[in-house]
């Protein structure tokens, strides 16, 4: 069954108030086997809500609306549903009595504004609210069922589970399972070309996303039940894993830093960092991993040339000969920090993050990364477009990936 989500709330349209209800509902609907095809946000405005609900219902079997069911004047969802369905809004006498009793039990009286919570479009069904006062509504609109729930997240989730989830499962849509595969050291297009022929597998949808230096593949498999969905997922996932080999660094929520840290911990080895243009971001990323103290020695932010000498032990003659942004200096920083901090691995980054400071020879976005160990050092040079923040983030990913690959070599 196709599903749509309409979040009502003028405050959600501006910055600062994320629509977390829709994110939660999308995940939940998917797990119940519904295919979320549309998500929209509308202001607290009757015509806007009615328009959104009509558009959503025209292409869905189930529409979930959140917000705008409270007692205040700006709560317009009831009126909008009546308008969308072309039916009058009616006050339900039984519901009014129950609201009165509910308010009385809390020592409050039901004013004319609160009485609106007993209104429903003709033919609509109320959905009980075990947590708050505003009931939800279920309205038929063409071939779609529209379920309207309050905006308060705790009320919305409780009412969805109790009143809407069983109906979605009953629509017999089966289930969806998903997997995230994470790739480093590759471009989006090269991954796309390598895997393209796998995108058409029956019941499996693949999305490829580039995320600052790393690539995410999102696999969603549909099946009549969990075991069928899993079997479909695993067939595609297994082949992708085989083709991607060492470029695949993990799945689902794992980060590159956590993978590197896990490998260091397993091998009983340590790492130290020397960073120029990333100014400590690499050390920061490594220390996001709990337990990093077992394998991260520390590092130097070696920004100025004389600090590269003082803190990372680079020979000044090397900087004079090749420049601070060079393969030679990156390798020297990695070897120097490794030795000074007594680590098994040294990792270094030196580059031009911009927006100024680039030359024809060494343009903005040129970054050298190096990893040193007792066998010697590895180096990778990357030239990336992008702004300063993006270049710095990608450099961290590239350095972590260089270390990860060195660790895999033993
Ligand atoms: P209700 O139908 O329960 O009255 P409402 O939208 O009319 O909901 P508001 O006063 O607008 O009530 O919102 C109640 C709270 O719920 C606010 O803190 C609001 O930010 C939050 N909220 C409403 N919609 C969402 C949403 N889509 N995602 C996250 N929070 C939401
Ligand atoms: Mg609101």
Predicted confidence (pLDDT) per residue in 21-38, tens digit: 999 999 999 888 898 999
Predicted confidence (pLDDT) per residue in 44-70, tens digit: 999 999 999 999 999 999 999 999 998
Surface-to-core class of residue 230, CB atoms within 10 Å of its CB (0-12 exposed, 13-18 middle, 19+ buried): middle
Crossing angle of helices 188-195 and 226-244, rounded to 10°: 120
Predicted confidence (pLDDT) per residue in 247-256, tens digit: 999 998 899 9
189 lines ligand 1 (CB under 6 A): no
Lowest mean pLDDT among 181-195, 212-226, 326-340: 212-226
Taking the centre of ligand 1 as the mean of its atom positions, its distance from the CA of residue 270, in whole angstroms, is 49
pLDDT at 172 over 80: no
Q: Which of 349, 354, 333, 375 is nearest to 279 (CA)?
A: 349
Split at pLDDT 50, 70, 90, the class of 134 is confident
pLDDT at 221 over 70: yes
Q: In the predicted model, what is the mean pLDDT of residues 276-291?
A: 97
Q: Is 111 helix (H, G, I), strand (E, B) or coil?
A: coil
Split at pLDDT 50, 70, 90, the class of 210 is confident
- Looking from the CA of residue 156, the nearest atom of ligand 1 is 3
Rounded to an integer, what distance in angstroms lies between the CA atom of residue 345 and that of residue 335? Answer: 8
Which position has the token pair 């024809």? 360
Give the pLDDT confidence score for residue 228 in this predicted structure.
93
> Residue with the nearest Cα to atom 21 of ligand 1?
152
Taking the centre of ligand 2 as the mean of its atom positions, its distance from the CA of residue 102, in whole angstroms, is 22
Give the pLDDT confidence score for residue 64 in this predicted structure.
98
Predicted confidence (pLDDT) per residue in 254-269, tens digit: 999 999 999 999 999 9
Q: Which of 364, 337, 333 is nearest to 349 (CA)?
A: 333
Q: Choose the residue to mutate in 48, 65, 67, 150 for probing ligand 1, maximizing ligand atoms within 8 Å of C-beta.
A: 67
The strand pairing partners of 138, in sequence order, are: 125, 147
Query: Contact at 8 Å (CB) between 80 and 68?
Result: yes
70 lines ligand 1 (CB under 6 A): yes
pLDDT at 284 over 90: yes
128 lines ligand 1 (CB under 6 A): no
pLDDT at 343 over 80: yes
Split at pLDDT 50, 70, 90, the class of 239 is very high
Split at pLDDT 50, 70, 90, the class of 169 is confident
pLDDT at 407 over 90: yes
- Looking from the CA of residue 67, the nearest atom of ligand 1 is 6
Q: Which ligand does the CA of 134 lie closest to?
A: 1
pLDDT at 155 over 70: yes
Query: Contact at 8 Å (CB) between 134 and 150?
Result: yes
List the structure tokens of 74: 């700006």
Surface-to-core class of residue 86, CB atoms within 10 Å of its CB (0-12 exposed, 13-18 middle, 19+ buried): exposed
pLDDT at 174 over 70: yes
Rounded to an integer, what distance in angstroms lies between the CA atom of residue 352 and that of residue 345? Answer: 24
Mean pLDDT of the chain: 94
Split at pLDDT 50, 70, 90, the class of 101 is very high
pLDDT at 133 over 90: no
> Residue with the nearest Cα to atom 3 of ligand 1?
150
Q: Which residue has the higher pLDDT, 171 or 376?
A: 376
Share above pLDDT 70 across residues of the chain, in percent, rounded to a whole number: 99
> Residue with the nearest Cα to atom 22 of ligand 1?
151
Give the pLDDT confidence score for residue 30 in this predicted structure.
87
20 lines ligand 1 (CB under 6 A): yes
């Amino acid at each position: 069954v196709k599903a749509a989500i309409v979040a009502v709330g003028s405050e959600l349209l501006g910055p600062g108030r994320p629509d977390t209800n829709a994110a939660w509902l999308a995940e939940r609907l998917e797990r119940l086997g519904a295919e979320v095809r549309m998500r929209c946000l509308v202001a607290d405005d009757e015509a806007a809500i009615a328009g959104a609900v009509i558009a959503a219902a025209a292409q869905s079997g189930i529409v979930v609306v959140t917000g705008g069911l409270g007692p205040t004047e700006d709560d317009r969802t009831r009126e909008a549903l009546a308008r969308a369905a072309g039916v009058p809004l009616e006050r339900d006498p039984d519901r009014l009595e129950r609201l009165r009793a509910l308010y009385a039990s809390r020592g409050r009286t039901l004013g004319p504004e609160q009485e609106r919570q007993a209104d429903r479009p003709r033919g609509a069904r109320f959905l009980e609210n075990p947590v708050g006062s505003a009931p939800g509504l279920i309205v038929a609109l063409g071939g779609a069922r529209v379920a309207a729930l309050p905006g308060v997240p705790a009320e919305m989730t409780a009412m969805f589970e109790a009143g809407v989830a069983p109906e979605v499962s009953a629509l017999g849509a089966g289930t969806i399972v998903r997997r995230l595969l994470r790739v480093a050291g590759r471009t989006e297009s090269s991954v796309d070309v390598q895997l393209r022929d796998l995108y058409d597998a029956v019941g499996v949808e693949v999305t490829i996303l580039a995320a600052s230096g790393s690539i995410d593949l999102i696999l969603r498999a549909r099946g009549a039940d969990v075991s069928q969905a899993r079997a479909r997922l695993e067939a595609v996932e297994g082949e992708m894993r085989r083709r991607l080999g060492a470029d695949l660094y993990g799945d689902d929520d794992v980060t590159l830093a956590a993978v590197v840290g896990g490998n260091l911990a397993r091998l009983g080895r340590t790492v130290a960092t020397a960073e120029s243009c990333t100014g400590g971001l690499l050390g920061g990323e490594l220390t996001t991993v709990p337990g990093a103290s077992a394998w991260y020695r520390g590092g130097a932010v070696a920004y100025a040339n004389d600090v590269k000498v003082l803190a990372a032990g680079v020979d000044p003659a090397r900087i004079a000969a090749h420049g601070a942004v060079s393969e030679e200096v990156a390798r020297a920083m990695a070897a120097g920090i490794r030795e000074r901090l007594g680590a098994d691995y040294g990792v270094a980054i030196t580059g031009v993050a911009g927006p100024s400071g680039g030359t024809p020879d060494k343009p903005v976005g040129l970054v050298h990364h190096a990893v040193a160990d007792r066998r010697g050092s590895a180096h990778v040079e990357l030239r990336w477009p992008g702004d300063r923040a993006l270049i710095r983030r990608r450099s961290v990913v590239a350095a972590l990936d260089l270390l990860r690959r060195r660790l895999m070599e033993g």
